Amino acid sequence: MRSLLTPRWLGILLAALLASFVMVLLGRWQWSRYELRSAVNDRIDASTVVAPAPVRDILGPPGTAPGDDHAWTRVTATGQYDPAQEILLRNRTVEGEVGYEVLTPLRLADGTALLVNRGWVKPNPQGITAAPDVPAAPSGTVTVVGRVHLSESSPGAIEQRFGRWETRRAAVGPISAKLPYPVLGAYILADGDTPGAQGLVPIPVSHENAWLNLGYAVQWWIFSVGALVGVALLIRKDRRETTPTTPSLT
């Protein structure tokens, strides 16, 4: 074994241990992604069988973003739509087609508002220079049901177009800065049968591919073991080649 204490073999051993350690960490990171995505899928599944919770029981005060564990929770809210402050989200894809998602503030009784994604609409056949045909939100007091969606990032410019606010992403903070009332820190994807969603394509709720992350985690851990096994095989081969053979007495 003294032959393994050479700079060459010490370098090989150190490199193998370092590579194996890094691959273990990568596997642990993929495992954490698997657990996170599995939790999201569990909440999506639970939301189909559990009665929706009042939105103020799930979302905190305006300007406060809910935790990740509240994403996709099914909630209910009662108030009045404010179509004058409606927001169009452009370049949004549903079923392979690009169009607009329609965010309409719902004014609640306490003076705050909840952004409701009422659904998706096709662009105007005349092109992007014409306003899309968006079904009007119902007037009067309505009760909406939908799933909590966390605020998106990098909204880009928020500007008036076609008589509505328009932007690229549903970033609740920047959007709320344009509105004349405090807005809760997340928005909801309305169920297809909720008031105001009729005539719009519901935004699909897709399960996360947690199994992909699980596969990557197992793969990295196999690689980490393989790195050490590979070094062991190199050592075995080297010892066989350097061990002198005993001459035969016959």
How confident is the model at residue 234, as a pLDDT?
77
Q: Among 73, 87, 80, 72, which Cα is nearest to 171's?
A: 87
Per residue in 83-116, pLDDT tens?
Answer: 999 999 999 998 889 999 999 999 999 999 999 9
8 or 75: which leads in pLDDT: 75
Give the mean pLDDT of 29-33. 88
How confident is the model at residue 166, as a pLDDT?
93
Sign of CA dihedral 221, 226, 228, 229: positive
pLDDT over 90 at 50, yes or no = no
Q: What is the DSSP letter of 130?
A: S
Proportion of the chain above pLDDT 70, given as a percent: 90
How many other CB atoms are found less than 10 A from the CB of residue 108?
A: 18
- CB hemisphere CA count around 84 (13 angstroms): 5
Proportion of the chain above pLDDT 90, given as a percent: 40
Cβ–Cβ < 8 Å for 114, 176: no
Cβ–Cβ < 8 Å for 118, 196: yes
CA-CA distance, 148 to 190, in Å (whole number)?
Answer: 9
pLDDT over 70 at 70, yes or no = yes
How many other CB atoms are found less than 10 A from the CB of residue 107?
A: 16
How confident is the model at residue 161, as a pLDDT?
86
Average pLDDT, the chain: 86
CA-CA distance, 121 to 100, in Å (whole number)?
Answer: 5
Q: Among 167, 88, 78, 193, which Cα is nearest to 132's?
A: 88
For the chain, the first-to-last Cα distance in angstroms comes to 31
pLDDT band at 136 (very low <50, low <70, confident <90, very high): very high
pLDDT over 70 at 207, yes or no = no
Per residue in 208-243, pLDDT tens?
Answer: 677 788 898 999 989 888 888 887 787 777 666 666
249 or 122: which leads in pLDDT: 122
DSSP letters spanning 41-84: HHHHHHHTTSPPEEHHHHS-STTPPPPGGGTT-EEEEEEEE-GG
How confident is the model at residue 26, as a pLDDT?
92
How confident is the model at residue 245, as a pLDDT?
56
CA-CA distance, 142 to 58, in Å (whole number)?
Answer: 19
Which segment, 149-158, 205-214, 241-250, is predicted with the most confidence on average?
Answer: 149-158
Per residue in 159-204, pLDDT tens?
Answer: 988 888 999 999 999 999 999 999 999 999 998 888 999 999 988 8
How confident is the model at residue 3, as a pLDDT?
56
How confident is the model at residue 12, as a pLDDT?
78
Cα torsion at 39, 41, 42, 48 (round to 10°)? 150
Rg (CA), the chain: 28
